[in-house]
Amino acid sequence: MPKFIFDLDGTITAVETLPLIARHFGVEAEIEALTQETIRGNIPFMESFIRRVHILGKLPVAEVSALLATVPTYPLVTQFIQSHREHCVIATGNLFCWVEALVHRLGCPCFYSQAALEHGVVGQLTHIVRKEEVVQAFQAQGEQVVFIGDGNNDAEAMRLAHVSIASGLTHWPSPSVLAVADYLVFSEEALCRQLTQLC
């Protein structure tokens, strides 16, 4: 069975988490603009992510974590991951301190970005995950890799993966993802059907 690597936001979760945080804490406009431009590929993910964390990092980590712990996930996708957890991993640019409780619900390993905390808020970024490096690490172990994603920061990982699936569950996948994807799906039923066929 291949190794299935999932993006988190909008692929497993039914909403994008950074805009959700922004709405909850009343800093929506700037985050939403950055998120949409990043999804479209108009702003490099690293630059956008650093700018968004600079805005949201001032918020209490405990409150952000509690908010994201209850974020809805796609039930069929979640069921597939939990039924094949030894073959599934998550690769997310999101911060460990924010999504740890959310990912714990899913029950599979996760590669996150990391930040140093100062007085209960994000101090500085210490590591930004590069999803293509996660793909390469599993390929170096002899794994066949299937990558499922939707955003501009998934494109290089999807290009390197043996099979890539563009997920249109939450929003239209970015042009860079569509350019490299082997499959395009618009429902979790279609996604899980495709994943099962690849098992």
CATH of the domain at 186: 3.40.50.1000
Q: Report the Cα 25 to chain-centroid distance in Å.
A: 21
Short-list 67, 73, 65, 66, CA closest to 13:
73
Burial class (CB in 10 A: 0-12, 13-18, 19+), 107: exposed
Residue-level pLDDT, tens digit, the chain, 199 residues: 999 999 999 999 999 898 889 889 888 887 878 877 776 778 877 788 888 888 888 899 999 999 999 999 999 999 999 999 999 999 999 999 999 999 999 999 999 999 999 999 998 899 999 999 999 999 999 999 999 999 888 999 999 999 999 999 998 998 999 999 999 999 999 999 999 999 9
**According to the model, what pLDDT value does residue 153 have?**
87
How many CB atoms are closer than 10 A to CB 101? 15
Output the pLDDT for position 30. 79
> In this predicted structure, what is the pLDDT of residue 149?
97
| Confidence at residue 39, expressed as pLDDT on a 0 to 100 scale | 66
Instruction: For residue 184, list its beta bridge partners.
Output: 166
Residue ranges making up the domain that contains 86: 3-198
Count up the domains in the chain and report the number.
1
